[in-house]
Amino acid sequence: MKKKQKIAQRHKISFKLNSKDVSCDVKASAVLMDVIRDVLELKGTKPGCREGECGACTVLINGSPINSCLFLAINAEGKKITTIEGLTKEDGSLDIVQHELVQHGAVQCGFCTSGMAMSIKGLMNQHEKSNRGAGKNKKGQPSREEIKKHLEGNLCRCTGYVKIIDATEKLFVKEK
C-alpha cells in the first residue's frame, strides 16, 4: 500500500505554455498530452494513437516537435511548450503555417492537422536555427524529399499528403 502511494505521488511542474507561465500538479506517469488536454484544457492537441505512431499530438518543446503522448509531463519542467493554440497569433490571425495549409487545401477532416502544423513549424525552426549566423553558408530550402522525410511521423488518412507537402514547400519559398 505504501509503495502504491509513492507511485501515485504528485509533482509540481512549471513551464511556459504558449508564452504564458503555467504550473500544475501531475503524477510522475502522466504524459504531456493528457496534461495539455485534460488539466490545461487545450483540446487542439489530438489523441490519435497514444503510442507515438501517428503524430496527431505533436507539440513543440523549445521549438522542436515531439509526440506529446510519449513525453512525460514532469520532463516539461522549465521548458517552452507550444501547442496549436499558441501557433495562432494573439489577435486570432493565422500563423503562416496555418495560412498555407488552408490556402493549399491541405486540411480535410482536420484530426491530423494540429500535429502536422506543429511538425512543419518545427522544420521551419530547425531550418532557421541552422542558418542563424551561418553567413554565406546558409542552407537553401529543404528539398521535397527532405520535407517528406520530416513529415513521415505524421499520419493523415484524408489528403494523400500532396497538398500538405505543397504547402510546406511554399513556406520555404516565402521564407527566402
Partner 1 sequence: MKKELRVIGKPVPKHDAGIRVTGKAVYGHDIVLPGMLHGAILRTEHPAAEFTIDVSQARKLPGVVCVITADDVDVNNIGYKRDHPILKKGEANCTRDEIAAVAADTKAIAQEALKLIKVKYKVRKGVYDPFEALNEKSPQINKFISGKFPNKNIAEVFHYEHGHLEEEKKKSAVTVTRRFSLPRMTHTCMGTSNITASFNKTDGKLLLYSSTQVPFLYQRDMAHALKMNPSDIRVIQPVIGGGFGSKLDMHPFEPICALLSIKTGRPVQILYSREEEFIASPTRQPMIIDLTAGADEKGNFTFREINIIKDNGAYTSWGATTPFVIMQAFSSLYKVRACKFDATAVYTNNVFAGSFRGYGNPQATFALERIIDLLADELKMDKAAIRLLNANEKGEITGQGLHFETCGHKECLETVIEKAKGKRQKHVASGAEPAKVENPRFKNGIGYASMLHVGGGAKIYRSDGCGTTSKIDPYGYCTIITGSNEIGQGSETVLAMIASEELGIELKKIKVINTDTDVKPWDVGVHASRTSFVAGNSLLGAIRILKDKLNKKASELLQTNDPEFEYSDNKIISEKTKTTIALDKVVREMHFSEPNELAIASFFYEPSSKFQDKDFKGNVSGTYAFASQAIEVEVDTYTGNVKVLDIYVAQDVGKVLNPLLLAGQIEGGILQGVGYALTEELLMHEGKILNPNFHNYKILTASDIPNIHFYPIETNDKQGPYGAKGVGEAPLIPTAAAISNAVCDALGVEFLELPMTPERVLKAIHENK
> Contact residues for partner 1 (CB under 8 A)?
37, 42-51, 53-54, 56, 83-85, 87-88, 94, 98, 101-105, 107-114, 117, 147-149, 151-165
DSSP sequence for 68-131: TTTSBGGGGTT-EEE-HHHHS-TTSPPPHHHHHHHHTT--SS-TTHHHHHHHHHHHHHHHHHHH
Q: What minimum distance in Å lies between the beta carbon of 30 and partner 1?
A: 11
- State the DSSP code for 9: -
> Helix, strand or coil for residue 62?
coil
Minimum separation from the CB atom of position 13 to partner 1 (A): 20
Cβ 136 to partner 1 shortest distance, Å:
31
Nearer to partner 1, 71 or 111 (CB): 111
Q: Please report how close the Cβ of residue 86 comes to partner 1 at its closest, in angstroms.
A: 9
Alpha carbon distance 40, 171 (integer Å): 31
Residue with cell 516565402: 174
CA distances from 120 to 29, 106, 153 (A): 28, 12, 11
